[in-house]
Amino acid sequence: MTASAPADKEKFRWEVSRLRALPTLPKLLERVVIALEDPEINFASVAELIEIDQSLTSQVLRLANSAFYSTQGSVSRVSQALVLLGSAVTRSVILSTSVLNMRAMTVLPGFWEHSLGCAVAAGAIAKATGLANPEEATAAGLLHDLGKVVLYKQLPDAFLHIVEEAARTGRSFIEVEREELGTDHGEIAGWLVEKWRFPACLADPVTWHHAPARAVRARDETAIVHVADALVRALGYGSGGDRRLAPIDPTAWTRLGLSPERLDAALDQFDVDLDHALNYATFE
C-alpha cells in the first residue's frame, strides 16, 4: 500500500508535535531504571526487580553471555550480569528490547542489521581509540536510530511515506523527514531519552549522531557513533532507510584521532566482533 501523499505534510507535522507526549515507562521498568541511576547502586536489589519479569531476566542474561561480554564461565545470575554489563548498558538493553522492539521494523528490511552493524563498529572504534568504556559505545550504536523506531510505531503512515520518498528521489532519510515533518529522528529520540532519563553516554549519541558537533556531554561517544554509522553504510551492511553515503563530520574524525593505522585496527576488530555477534546472536 502506498504511504500518504506529500499533501499530508501538515498533518504529519501536527502528529509529530504530539510525540512529545510519548508514554512513560511501565511501572516495573521505571523502578528498574531509577534504581540503575542511583550512584550507590545495589546490584542485588536491582537484580531482584529484574527477576520479577521473565523477559527482562532473559535479555540481561543473554547479553551477559554474548560474544561481547562473556567471561571464561557462563553467567547464570542477574546480579552477576549487572556487575559485568554496568548500569548504562543494562538500561539500554532493558529499554530497547522491552519497550521499543527494534527487530519489529519489518517495513524497513535491513534495519536491524544496520543497528547491529553500527553497534559493532562503534565498539571497535572505541577500542581502537582507547575509550574507557567501549561497551557503552556499543550500546549507543545499537540504539542510534531509536527515533526511527518511535516514528515507525507512532506514525507508521508518515514513516512509510518517508522511506518511499527517499527511495524515489534518491535523497537521504533525514532530508526527507526534515522536509515532511519539520524535525528528524534524532530530535524525536531526544524527546524520548530526556523523558526516560538516559545517561549522557547514550542520550547524546542517539540525539546527535547526525550532528556530532552539537553534543555537549558525551562528545567522544557521539563522534564514535557518527563515524560508525557512516562506516557501516559505506560497507553496505543493513539499511538505515536510504542508499546515501553521508559525509563524515571532520570535527568528529579529528576528535577521535583516527589515523590510517587506527582505522585499519578498528575495521579488523569490526570483522571479528561482527562475526561473533552473528554467530552468537548477541542482541536477540
Output the domain CATH number for residue 114: 1.10.3210.10
197 and 276 inside one domain: yes
201 and 265 inside one domain: yes
91 and 133 inside one domain: no
Segment 122-129 mean pLDDT: 89
End residue of a domain, out of 81, 98, 115:
98
- Contacts of 280-284 spanning 24+ positions with Cβ under 8 A: 280/66, 280/67, 281/66, 282/63, 282/66, 282/67, 282/68, 282/116, 283/63, 283/66, 283/97, 283/116, 283/119, 283/142, 284/62, 284/103
Cell of 232: 557501516
Distance CA 187, CA 277 (A): 29
227 and 176 inside one domain: yes
Q: Which domain holds residue 50?
A: 26-98
Q: For residue 69, what pLDDT is reported?
A: 63
DSSP for residue 5: P
State pLDDT tens for residues 171-226.
Answer: 999 999 999 888 899 988 888 777 777 788 889 999 999 999 999 999 999 999 99
Please tell me which residue, 91 or 127, carries the higher pLDDT value.
127
pLDDT averaged over every residue in the chain? 80
Distance CA 224, CA 141 (A): 8
35 and 126 inside one domain: no
Report how many domains make up the chain. 2
Distance CA 140, CA 126 (A): 11
User: How would residue 89 be classed by pLDDT, with cut points 50, 70 and 90?
Assistant: confident
CA angle 140, 142, 143 (to 5 degrees): 65
Whether 1 is covered by a domain: the verdict is no
70 dihedral zone (left: phi>0; alpha: psi -120 to 50; beta): beta
pTM of the model: 0.79
End residue of a domain, out of 98, 116, 133:
98
Q: Which of 38-47, 110-119, 131-140, 178-187 shows the highest mean pLDDT?
A: 178-187
Q: For residue 281, what pLDDT is reported?
A: 45
Phi/psi at 244 (nearest 5 deg)?
A: -80, 145
State pLDDT tens for residues 235-275.
Answer: 888 888 888 888 899 999 999 988 888 888 888 888 877 77
